[in-house]
Amino acid sequence: MVTNRREFMHYSAAAALAASIPVTTGAADQQTMATRTIPGTDEELAVVGLGNAKPFAAGDKERTGQLLDILMEHGGGYVDTSWRGRFTVGQVMRERQAHDRLFLGTYLEGQDPQSLSDEIKAVQDAQGGGVLDLVLSREPAAYLARSDEFLRLKEDGLTRYVGVARQNERFYPPMMEAMRLGVVDFIQVNYSMLEPGAADQVLPLALEKKVAVIINRPFVNGGYFPLVSGRELPDWAAEFDCRSWAQFSLKFILAHPAVNCVITETENPRHAVDNLTAGVGRLPDAETQQRMRKVIQGLM
C-alpha cells in the first residue's frame, strides 16, 4: 500500500504530469500566481506558500535556498518559520537580498515582553535587520491573555502584523475570540476536504472581521495521498486548471473567499513546483467544490 507522498508520486498518473514540470522556469514560460489582498491594506499576498519544511529546521541552507528560489520563481512569497528555521530562512533571505520578495511568518515563544523583544532582535539579526512581516503565537488562549504585548510589538515598529496559528478544532474558540476582539491581523488554521470544520464558523468570522487567513495541513500531514493513490484524476478537474491530486486539494481550499494563502511543508523540489502551480489558473465554483468533496468522501 502507498503510505506517503513520495511513494504516491511514483505511482500516480497525476504524478507524471507533476514530474514533467521543470523545477526552474522563466517568468515568460508560466502564468502568474494569483494574489489576494491582506484585509484592511493594499498589500497583496501570493496564494500558495511554504510551511516550516524540514530543511529549515535542520539548518540546511542549500536545500532551503533551493526551495525559496522555487517559491520566488513561481510567484510565491509567504514562508512559515519557527525555532531554528527562523534563522535558516532569514539568513538565506539576506544572502539573496530577497526581503522585498518574501513575506515571513515568524513564531515567537517568549513568555514575557523582554523575551519577545529579544527573540525578534535575534531574528532581525539573522535577516540583516528590518521590521518583521508577521509574528505568530501558537497558543491562542495564551495570546488572548497577553495580546497587549503582541500589539505593542506593532506599535514599537518591530513587526507589521500579529496573529495566532494552530490546527485542531479545540483551538477554534480562542481564535474566534481574538478575531472578535480585534487583536489579530492573521490567523492560521487547518482546512481541507478532510478537515472542513473551519468553514462552519472560523472562516466566515475571518471574512466578517477582515482578518487574513493562512491555511495549514492541506494534505492532513500526508494522510490525503493514500486515499487517492492509484486513482485517475477526474477529467473535469481540467475545467479549473487542475492537473494533480495535490492541486485538487489546494484549489478546493483556495476557492474559499476567506483564504489568503495555503502553505505546504514539502522538502521535495518537484512537489513544491506542483503545489505552487495550484495558485495559477481557475478555481472550482461552488457546484464543483461539492463534486470534489463527494469524490474524496467516497474514498474514505
Whole-number pLDDT of residue 80 = 98
pLDDT of 300 reads: 86
Beta strand segments in the chain, E: 35-37, 44-46, 48-50, 78-81, 103-107, 132-137, 159-165, 186-190, 212-216, 261-264
17: nearest Cα among 271, 295, 284, 293: 271
Look at residues 35, 55, 94 and name the one whose alpha carbon lies nearest to residue 271: 55
Nearest to 33 by CA among 280, 198, 221, 291: 280
pLDDT at res. 18: 34
- Cα gap 193→155, rounded to integer Å: 38
Give the model's pLDDT for residue 16.
Answer: 36
C-beta atoms surrounding 263 within 10 Å: 22
Residues in the chain where the model's pLDDT stays below 50:
1-30
Q: Which superfamily is assigned to 5-21+36-297 in CATH?
A: NADP-dependent oxidoreductase domain (3.20.20.100)
* Closest C-alpha among 280, 289, 286, 292 to residue 228: 292
Q: What pLDDT score does 126 carry?
A: 95
pTM score of the predicted model: 0.89
Give residue 229's pLDDT.
Answer: 92
pLDDT of residue 234: 97
- Domain coordinates of the chain in residue numbers? 5-21+36-297
Length of the chain: 300
